[in-house]
Structure 1
Amino acid sequence: MLKASILLLLLVGLSHQATVTPCGVPSLRDDMKCFMQLVDFLKNSFLVILKSTDRARDFKNSCDSLQNCYSSLECRKNDPNVMDLQRKVNTYCDSMLYISTDFVECNKKLDQKRSQCWSTYFPAPDRSCSNVFGQEDCVKREIIETCGQQDWIGFRDVRNKNLKVS
């Protein structure tokens, strides 16, 4: 559920970033190449939700390919839309890779616990700062009690990084 929520937020963000600035006919080929990389990236974003190590590796490769593609667009090197998109994709990739690798065991434990707090938690960027980790910071308590301080710190840092680019 958590991965699907983060993916939904990414798709909304990317849809606003997908503006095209004309750089001339020769850049169209490069733009299409990056668009195809974006399609692959989105496909792998859905697949990484399946919690497979192979899927996480494929997703990491898609992240790297997409970042390399955008970096190679000479015509758009200083385009604020492309720069913002790169930053958002990088943050999203880091978040999904953390959730899909380092946080997997904790996520399983939290899901098995079936607490009201964790099962209803939706990490939406439009939440106020007072409840970004659930009502009365219940997510913080759940993670620390179930998985420990280190998992909480990792989750908190990833979540805060996402908030900064939203």
Structure 2
Amino acid sequence: MIGFLQLAIIGTVFLSVVHKAVATGAQDAGCTDEESLRTRSCDLVLADFLENSGNLYMKDKKRLKEYKDECHNVLSCYNKIKCLGTNGEKIPAIKNIGKHCRATDYVHDDFAKCSDKLNAKKSTCFDDWDPIPNKVTTEKVPKKFDQLMSESCKTCFGKDNCMMKEIKETCGQQEWDAFRKHFITLSGGFFDKCDFSRLD
């Protein structure tokens, strides 16, 4: 289950972009000096969260729960500051934190039973699943990156979309639909340019 681990890390990379957007958005939202100071305090909470995300291993359920709780602490911190609105009303970047938290909730709370079934089944597809090969995340040349991303779009649900087949057979259509939705959300926009109509 390499995949969800990588997605959480990709998601936190995406959240670090959110971090910058929130700081800029707070200035534009007309926050008072006190609110701006509280926003900076939340920025530190977000920075800690991003730093600790590298210690995440999806099979460690205790650590995954801590990660989930930390994500909600970040969101709650920003939501307590009136000038920012609630859940991204005034700063859309905060919506992305909420999406990331909800996707993490899904992995921890809702997908756990299916994950256990796939592990018990010793699903090779699930065990080897690697939606974002390292060469994609480390590629610096834009043209090569685009080419690698195009290839990743075709294989992000395993060879011949085996994750779709495995999850449908083991856990049902409804679980597959939820998995697909949350997988894309947790990837933090990484697969926005992919055409997943083949999976409908």
Q: TM-score, normalised by structure 1?
A: 0.71
CA shift, 1:46, in A, is 4.5
TM-superposed deviation, 1:123: 3.4
The CA RMSD measured in Å over matched residues stands at 3.5
* Counterparts in 2 of 1:30 and 1:45: CA distance versus 1, 3 Å: farther
Q: Distance in 2 between matches of 1:32 and 1:150?
A: 41
Question: Following TM superposition, by how much is the alpha carbon of 1:7 offset from its aligned partner in structure 2, in angstroms?
Answer: 1.8
The aligned residue for residue 7 of structure 2 is 6
Q: C-alpha distance in 2, partners of 1:87/1:38?
A: 14
- What are the superposed Cα offsets for residues 20-58 of structure 1, whole Å, 9 maximum, x if unpaired? 438485444213320233245444785684213x962x5
Query: Are the structure 2 counterparts of residues 86 and 145 from structure 1 closer, same or farther at C-alpha, using a change threshold of 3 Å?
Result: same
**Structure 1 residue aligned with 2:76, among 65, 68, 75?**
68
Does 1:123 find its partner at 2:147? no
Is 1:107 aligned to residue 131 of structure 2? no
Given that 2:71 and 2:101 are in contact with CA atoms closer than 8 Å, whether structure 1 keeps it comes out as yes
Q: How many residues align?
A: 161
Change in CA separation of 1:144 and 1:92 when aligned onto 2, cut-off 3 Å: same
Provide the rounded CA distance (Å) in 1 between the counterparts of 2:117 and 2:69.
28
CA deviations over 1:102-122 (Å, ceiling 9, x no partner):
11122123234141x222322
Q: Which amino acid in 2 is paired with 1:34? A: C
Q: Give me the identity figure in percent.
A: 26
Where in structure 2 are the equivalents of 1:4-153 lying within 5 Å? 4-19=5-20, 20-21=23-24, 23=27, 26-39=34-47, 41-42=49-50, 43=52, 46=55, 49=58, 50-52=60-62, 56=65, 58-74=66-82, 83-112=91-120, 113-115=122-124, 117-124=125-132, 126=149, 128-153=152-177
Deviation at 1:86, TM superposition (A): 1.6
- Structure 2 length normalisation: TM-score? 0.61
Distance (whole Å) between structure 1 residues aligned to residue 97 and residue 54 of structure 2: 11
